[in-house]
Structure 1
Amino acid sequence: MTYPPALDLLPMNEYKISPDMRTGDKLGVILTSRGCPFDCIFCSNRLLTGKKYRMHSIERVCSEIENLIKNYGVTQLFVQDDNFAVNKERAKSLCREMIRRELHKKISWWAEARVDCVDEELLFLMAQANCKIISYHICPK
């Protein structure tokens, strides 16, 4: 069994920075998955996780987001996954669930992904779910 982060032990009111460094909105950080199966030469993740990829359930992720919004007033979210789009179908399902729960009306968010892991449908769903920034990893073949 996994437990959500003990955010009540952190000074959450001090986390007020946005990706563009201007808005001062309350920022939340979430991890929906850990690891990445790729072997990019610039990334230390392969050394840290052995290229293993593990995911939290969509239910858990959305519950954590709801907690950040309700209890901490978070309006911007950084999805700190090593590669949000490793599993495209899971990423699409997460975006759909965020939309279904209307989380996209309460927060904006950003994530990182390898450019060759996204497709048009995923980008469309991310935009609908109010993703504002994608930091791309560009990896040579």
Structure 2
Amino acid sequence: MIQFREPIDEKRRDELLDAIAKKIKQYGLAVPAIFFLEMNKPFSYIGGQAMHFFAPVVGVFFETFEDYAYFFDDRQNVELLIQRIEAIAMEEEEEKRQRKALKETSRKRKAEASMLDDALKMEPDGKAPDNGGN
């Protein structure tokens, strides 16, 4: 007798959300993924049903295939996925801004240290020391 899997619970749904969103971030496809998901959100149920249709064959190769089919059955899950991708993209942008600010601060400190070294090398009258023609 054929046994059907139960629909996914919230914990499993969140695991799938994280897995999909992290893969999208890993490949740098946040914007195209959001665009694609928004555009095809009305068809998510049909896609989920098509995945259920192919699950007996594809499920042999991919154990979690039917979980993804249940995931895409609900349009709300697609909206949650879009929100998760946007949140991850915002976190990544914030990290980039922080790294840029840190780099700028480091560059300013180096410039200030260089100016201080030059000032310490100057003679009391404000002129740079003569290096003997070099």
- Whether these two folds match at TM > 0.5 is no
TM-score (norm 1): 0.25
Greater helix proportion: 2
Structure (1 or 2) with the greater strand fraction: 1
Flag the structure with larger Rg: 2
Higher relative contact order (CA 8 A, sep 6+): 2
